[in-house]
Structure 1
Amino acid sequence: MEQVSGIRTGARGPGRGSALSDEDLASLVRQTALGDFAAFERVYRELSGPVFGVVRRVLLDEAQSEEVAQEVFLDVWRNCGRFAPERGTARSWVLVIAHRKAVDRVRSEESATARVAAAGRLEPETTPADGVERHVENTLEREKVRRCLRRLTQLQKDVVRLTYYTGHTQREAAELLKVPLTTVKGRLRDGLIRLRDCLGVIT
């Protein structure tokens, strides 16, 4: 999912709801795996702040942290069926995803920087290979998300961006887009379902 600039990002702050117990959060993740969009919203509200905090500590850059934090929640939406409570809490599972994605972004950026530096020391016909595979993998993943976003209707894209990239509530999104709240709820649910389906099959 892509960002809308110039609007406050809800992922910077704590979740809007009360803190959930580990059991409640695990139950919400299981419900999300069954396609319960309301459960996913509660997971997002509960963990958006902690996820952003983990990513921010690794990346330092705020804009990149916002982007990666939202990639984390898309990953949760896509893969919540893989959550195994016997291996740990849902909270730790999500935060591990957040840390891994942040580290992957750092490695990708470092690899790109290293290749640029190396290019000045190599003959034109020489191609540096270190880190290329990881960089390509990360680049393809981001492009996959962008391609799936392009398959949404314009209203679905606008609603997804406002609520899951810039942290607006559904009511705020409805006011900004000048559509009924029920329309925002429906388009957001449909858009995320289409994204998950698309990302599961696109190559």
Structure 2
Amino acid sequence: MSAVTGSAEVPEPPAHGHPGSVVAGRRRQTGESEVDAAVLARVARRDTRALGELYDRFGRQVYSLARRICRDDHIAEEATQELFLAVWRQAGRFDPARGTVRTWIFTLAHHIAVDAVRREAAIRRRTLSAGEDEREVPAAPGADQAAIGSMVGANVRAALAALPPAQRHVLALAYYRGCTQSEIATSLGIPLGTVKSRTFAAMATLRSALHGFEP
């Protein structure tokens, strides 16, 4: 997939004042774009610290954009996480000839947030339909489902074991001990952005490793 383009709202600082200040502002934006491109190139080389840098730079604005579209804090948080997973997976496909990293990220964020709203609406429709049409308690899983569940469990354990120790540790604290990402950052003495980038990278690896094993 090549770089995505679209009409997403991309926050940009206003240009006011003396023409000299406008030129300086444009030079600053150009410099920032070059830095963003260099960081994204590191992400493409699977540098989780670089992903954390992008999160620190764009995470708050991405969440704000998703929140305006989704009008729900939880869905906006999930959309933000999905956005940075997409950045992790697609960083190598970014085409600087088609726009800046900033524009690329916010366009992806816009598309992901809109898709999240559509998914949520579809889930609600299915839930309402099921509530009207389904009155029976689902049957217990059969032997085939149990076998599939066992196979998936084994693959999850294998995929977790294959993660880099730093990523596996973050997931263990989050999913087995129930720690928040802020608590993990404090416990490990690392920036919150690093916790988030390690989580994104670990989840992306797990999804790839477990593709095709979902029951």
Q: Which amino acid aligns with 1:65?
A: A
1:106-117 aligned within 5 A = 106-117=117-128
In structure 1, the residue matched to 2:101 is 90
The correspondence of residues 170-185 of structure 1 with structure 2, limited to 5 A, is 173-175=184-186, 177=187, 179=188
Max Rg structure: 2
Residues 55 and 65, structure 1, Cα contact 8 Å, conserved in 2: yes
How do residues 36-185 of structure 1 correspond to structure 2 at under 5 angstroms?
Answer: 36-119=47-130, 151=160, 155-157=169-171, 168=182, 173-175=184-186, 177=187, 179=188
Question: Quick one: which amino acid aligns to residue 89 of structure 1?
Answer: T
Over residues 45-66 of structure 1, what are the superposed CA-to-partner deviations in whole Å (9 max), with x where a residue is unaligned? 1100111011001111112211
Q: Are 2:208 and 1:200 aligned?
A: yes
Count of aligned pairs between the two proteins: 152
| C-alpha contact (below 8 Å) 1:160/1:192 kept by paired residues | no
Inter-partner Cα distance in structure 2 for 1:57 and 1:180 = 33
CA RMSD of aligned residues (A): 3.8
Q: Which blocks of at least 5 consecutive residues in structure 2 are unaligned?
A: 1-27, 136-155
TM-score, normalising length: structure 2: 0.56
Bigger Cα displacement from structure 2, 115-124 vs 85-94: 115-124
Q: What is the percent sequence identity of the aligned residues?
A: 29
Change (3 A) 1:112 1:190: closer
Q: 3-state DSSP class of the match of 1:35?
A: coil
In 2, Cα distance between equivalents of 1:110 and 1:104? 10
Query: Which TM-score applies when normalising by structure 1?
Result: 0.59
Q: How much has 1:115 moved relative to structure 2? A: 2.9
Unaligned runs of 5+ in 1: 1-17, 125-146
Given the superposition, is the C-alpha separation of residues 159 and 29 from structure 1 closer, same or farther in structure 2, using an over 3 Å criterion? farther
1:34 lines up with 2:51 in the alignment = no
Q: 1:159 to 1:50 in 2, by over 3 A?
A: farther
